[in-house]
Amino acid sequence: MISSGEKAPDFTLPDHNGQLVSLSDFAGRRLLIAFYPLDFSPVCHDQLTAYKAISPQLEEADVTLVGISVDSAFAHKAFREHAAIENTLLADFEPKGAVAKSYGAYLDDWGHANRSLVLVDGDGSVEWVHESDTPVDIPPPGLILDAIAA
């Protein structure tokens, strides 16, 4: 897993609408990347809907939350609509998991990302990271709030 203080690896990925989104688009803002395994799994649904509850605190702290998984932009669009998720979802689809791998969040044996959080500061440096013990362990919203307040 990437470490605090390192430069965040650059990326450009399609979002749920097929629009390209790059790390540089968030320059000057803090970015919270939530790597998660797959759209439509019950645990991923629970994780991303739980983070919806802390949206006001994230906004207040000038933190933008994006989710990244190996699913396609089309799957992300359907998942967002199904789960009423408002944050951007990025497709680390092809080459499969390349961005997750660059951050150290990819699980080769599983074929998808672990549940990992990376907070990037406005200058593009990693401010904080959290890696779950397993893909079924959801990092709680309070953990995020503690990290952005620190």
Instruction: Point out the residues that are catalytic.
Output: 44
Q: Which amino acid is at 4?
A: S
Residues 6+ apart with CB under 8 A from 66: 21, 31, 32, 33, 34, 87, 88, 89, 90
The CA distance from 102 to 118, in Å, is: 12
